[in-house]
Amino acid sequence: MVDELARTLHWRSDLLALLVEEPLDKRALEERVDASRSTVDRGIRDLEAVGLVERTNGGYAATVSGRLAAESRAAHVAELDGVDRAGPLLDLLADDGDLGREMLAGVEVERAEPPSPAAPLDRLKDVIRRSDRYLGMSAMDTGTGFGQFFHDQVVEEGLDLSFVFTREMAGHLESNLGDKIPPMKQAGFEMGVVDHLPFGLGVGFADDWAVAVVLVYGPSSRLAGILFNENRAAVEWATGLFDRYSARAETVPP
């Protein structure tokens, strides 16, 4: 039954999507999908056979099962679209990584490659500038000047910033920023340290906006690209992952 349902959804999704929106008779369906009466007849029979469509006074309509099946397929297609667009970056992640499927649907991909290798970091800076609060995880240096950039955002712009670093990255940050870190901590900067992180992560928040960010590194620890996603599910996933690593992190004293 599941195989039959999946096949029907694959071949008849256009008809089902229309009937989720409103009841329609066969003539209206013919016009909407630009198909012959016989094609519409077969489609309706197939959908009825698996319980996704029923006859009503207005013609045919999706059942509750039909609506849920259509929503499930749409979500699945959106995730697959994300896999297709982000695939080259996803393949650089560890097989046992923590990347959630929630990051896929609606993902926007910025690759660090010619002619604009700096585009991902430029967009990331724009995200951070827009944020009132920013949560981050970093195992590698994200680019020249980022430490100073964070200092300015925290001390001068009032950014509420919390970060989890690997020990190596924390040492790198302290050696580069030196006496600029205490003013950051006085302004509210919080910093924790763990032994390992699966990838770079960011979550930016403003009044009516939030975004999840995943930084992907390639050979020689060079930034390969960044994934951005403003969908609520992605933001909730990223926030949960940050909280998980933050809870196990060793706090760096002021």
Which one is the CATH code of 2-72: 3.40.50.2300, 1.10.10.10, 3.40.50.300, 3.90.1150.10? 1.10.10.10
Q: In whole angstroms, what is the distance from residue 203 CA to residue 127 CA?
A: 9
Cα–chain center distance at 106: 6
Token readout for 53 is 């469509």
Q: In whole angstroms, what is the distance from residue 63 CA to residue 54 CA?
A: 6
Q: What is the mean pLDDT of residues 132-153?
A: 86
CATH class entry, domain 93-251? alpha beta
Residue 121 burial by Cβ neighbours in a 10 Å radius (0-12, 13-18, 19+): buried
Q: What is the mean pLDDT of residues 94-101?
A: 84
Any idea where the domains of the chain sit in the sequence?
Answer: 2-72, 93-251
Q: In whole angstroms, what is the distance from residue 217 CA to residue 195 CA?
A: 18
For residue 51, is pLDDT > 60?
yes
Residue 158 near residue 130, CB atoms below 8 Å: no
pLDDT value of position 217: 92
Per the DSSP assignment, residues forming a β-bridge with 99 are none
Residue 240 near residue 181, CB atoms below 8 Å: no
pLDDT digits (tens, 9 = 90+) for 207-238: 999 999 999 998 878 899 999 999 999 999 99
Under 8 Å CB-to-CB from 57, ≥6 apart: which residues?
23
